[in-house]
Each structure stands twice: as structure tokens, then as C-alpha cells.
Amino acid sequence: MSQPVSRDFVMMLALPDSGPAFESAVTEIAYSDQREAVAVGAQIAEFGPTVTPELRAAVADSLLLAQLAANKAAGDQGDVIAWYRKYVEVLQGVGWLVHDMEFQSQELAQIDGDMHTAIIPVITAMLGPAAAAASVVIAVLKGLQEMDKDNPWITVFDRASQHASGAKFQLGFVDADAQGNPEIKLMALAIDAQRSVTQVLFFKFSDQSTTLRRAESTLKSQRARLDSIKGAVSQRVQPFLTDYISKIEI
């Protein structure tokens, strides 16, 4: 997809109505150059030190745009996988190459404890022991039980994760090569239930009518490609920043 088509694609995307605008509302997130984690709607994104603050903003904006478009397309429908199809379609439309993201169902009887404890070994296996040891996301998940459940980032994440018949969320680990081209190791999860799931990270696997689906993928893009449309993407997501993005403090 060429640059003009990508920009047209961004500007023509149907998005939900944004919340009321206030003079004090956040219009820009201050990213650092250190390892950090940010709640981007229903995704916890961890940025490694190879990712510049400017690139972090462009990546986060594209992830948020994909979620917003998927929210609009899904409406009140309960099909979480359909939500993910739209999410991937938008990421591809703004320049991300998305490698196979096939969802696999997991037997609930094989899962112990809350969601946030159950996914730690899965993340560790995806990242490898060395990367997992340095991961901010894993540190956050390990300390989640002691965190205030009204913490702003948890509020943002929980609200965005809810779905008509379950919940969906993603964990993304973002790094960049020597040329500044970003790569995301992505884990996507979907809970199929008969109801909306609140506080998804504290969800207990006790309801046998509930199915957990999980997919892993690698997303790659070029810095120049993201730079070419970051203005358009930023313009579309700016009204949503206050409600959808929050830095995670540990």
C-alpha cells in the first residue's frame, strides 16, 4: 500500500465517538528513553531502550487506531475473533507486516489461578528467560495483587478490554533494530464467555462455559513508513488519548 493510500486509509477509518474534551485533557504522552510499559487501550505495550520516544508515540498511536477501528466495527457484537480480524486489517493498512496470528483454544482445566498469574509462564516462554527477567510487564503482573485496582492504568485497560461476550487484550513487546525499524512480539488473548468480563487481569478460570483463546505473532514495520503517516494517525487518535493511554508506574 503506497503512502497516499495509507493516509487516505487512516483518514477514512470509522472510529467511535470520543468522550467530552476538557481543557486539561492530555493531548500528548511523555515517553522516556528507558524501558517502560504503557497501557494503550486493551494492550499493555512494553518499550525497550532501543525504541526512541518519538517512535514509541508512533507505535502506540497505530496500536490505538487499530483498536478504535475494531471497536467501531464490532459494535455490540460478541465475536471477539471478528474484533481481532479488524484490528489486524488496520495494522496492515498503516504499514505493519503481521505474521500468522492463529488463535488456539486452551482447556480451562489446565489453567490455575487468576489471569495475571497464569500468563506469566506463557510470556516467559515467548520472550525467553533473559528478556523475561528484564521485562517490566512481568514485574507489573507479579506485583498486581498488591496494586490499587483503581490505579489509572488498570482503569484504562479494564474499560478497553471489555467485550459484549467476554474480553480481549494484548501484550506487546516493542524493540527496534539499528536503523530504528520497530518490531513487536505480540500475544493476543480472547475470553469467550456468556457475559462481559470486568477486571480481566484478575479473572478466575472457574466458569466452565468460558473459553480462552491465545495467539502469538510478530509485527514488523519500517520507521520511514510510520513517519510518513504519523501525523494522520496522531490526528485521528488525539481525541482519545486521555481515555485510552496511561503510563504504568511500578
With 80 as the cut, is the pLDDT of residue 28 above it? no
Which grid coordinates belong to 106? 486452551
Q: For residue 78, tell me if it sits in a domain.
A: yes
Residues whose CB falls within 8 Å of the CB of residue 128, separated by 6 or more in sequence, listed in order: none
CATH code of residue 186: 3.40.198
- Taken in order 11, 220, 224, 134, the sign of the CA dihedral is positive
Identify the residue with better confidence: 185 or 213: 185
Q: For residue 104, tell me if it sits in a domain.
A: yes
Q: How many domains does one find in the chain?
A: 1
pLDDT at residue number 114: 80
Reported as a single tens digit per residue, the pLDDT across 80-97 is 889 999 999 999 999 999
Q: For residue 8, tell me if it sits in a domain.
A: no
Q: For residue 11, tell me if it sits in a domain.
A: no
Q: Which domain holds residue 107?
A: 37-248
Q: For residue 188, tell me if it sits in a domain.
A: yes
With 60 as the cut, is the pLDDT of residue 246 above it? yes
Reported as a single tens digit per residue, the pLDDT across 149-194 is 789 999 999 999 988 778 899 999 999 999 999 999 999 998 887 7
